[in-house]
Amino acid sequence: MCRKPPLARARRRFGKEARLVRASAEALPFPDSAFDAAVSLNSLYFWPDVPAAFAELARVVRPGGRLAVGFEPADELRKWPGHRFGFRLFEAEEVAGLAAAAGFEHLRFSEGRGRKPDRFLCLSGTRGSANV
């Protein structure tokens, strides 16, 4: 069975309610400080240049704006055999350090559980006023 690509499915679902754009995490096609918040859910593992992607998120989020990055930490992903196929694994402290280096402040983790019994983390914080 051939399924529609994710972007096509999303366009069909949301129609004109949302502007959907395909772009690299390291080169977002938006002006500086364009957004009040940025959210990433289970995509961090696939960013080719993670420090550059965090810097790009800091660029497009206005000073004082919010960041939320949801991911399964390395110890959880290692339990899943598929982690060996294209996933980059991260420890919580590493993700927090990357966000801080990009200029995000007041970072904290929330922990939850998804549909599986695995641990899921959400790093949240605010963009500082200084460009890094």
Could you state, in order of their start, the residue ranges of all structural domains in the chain?
33-127
Q: Are 113 and 120 in contact (CB under 8 A)?
A: yes
> Cα–Cα distance between 5 and 14 in angstroms, integer?
14
pLDDT above 90 covers a percentage of the chain that reads 61
pLDDT in tens, 89-129: 999 999 999 999 999 999 999 988 666 657 889 999 999 98
Average pLDDT, the chain: 89
Nearest to 110 by CA among 122, 118, 119, 92: 122
Question: The whole model's pTM is what?
Answer: 0.86
Q: Are 68 and 124 in contact (CB under 8 A)?
A: yes
Name which CATH class applies to 33-127: alpha beta
